[in-house]
Structure 1
Amino acid sequence: DAYTVTHYQPFDPVHKRTEATVTDDRGATFTVTKGAPQVILSLADNSADITSAVDTAVNDFAARGFR
C-alpha cells in the first residue's frame, strides 16, 4: 500500500529487461528494473567497481543450476 506503480514496461527481449516507475507514500518517485545481469550492470554508475562481484555471484548461481 505504500507504493504505487505509475508506469510499467513489460520485458523486452531487445533490451533484456523489465522496468517500473514507482511512487512511494511520501511522493518520492524511483525506477526499479530487473533483467539480464550484464544489462543491469551496464546501468549501474559504479559498474567498474562491482563487475567482479557481480560475475562471481552470477557464476555461483549458475553452478547451483539457477539462471
Structure 2
Amino acid sequence: MTEIAIVQLGPDEGERLKEVRLRALQESPDAFGSSYAREIGFSEDEWTKRLKNPDSRWWVAESRDLGDVGLV
C-alpha cells in the first residue's frame, strides 16, 4: 500500500509547484479555472510569487514511492 502525505509547499519550491500544477492541468483540464497553455508560459518568478502570496496556500499530495501525485 502506498502512503500519501499532504504537505504545504514553501516559498522556495516554485519548480515543484510548476511541475505538479502543469501535470494536473494536462491530466484534468476541466478541474481548473486556468489552462496548461496559459500557465506553461509563466516565468519562474511567477511561480515563486504564487507561493509567497500571503492570501494563498499550495498543498501537494506526495508519496515516497511515486513523488508528487497531485494538488490538494
TM-score, length-scaled by structure 2: 0.26
Instruction: Indicate the structure whose relative CO is greater, using CA pairs within 8 Å and at least 6 residues apart.
Output: 2
Which of the two has greater helix per residue? Answer: 2
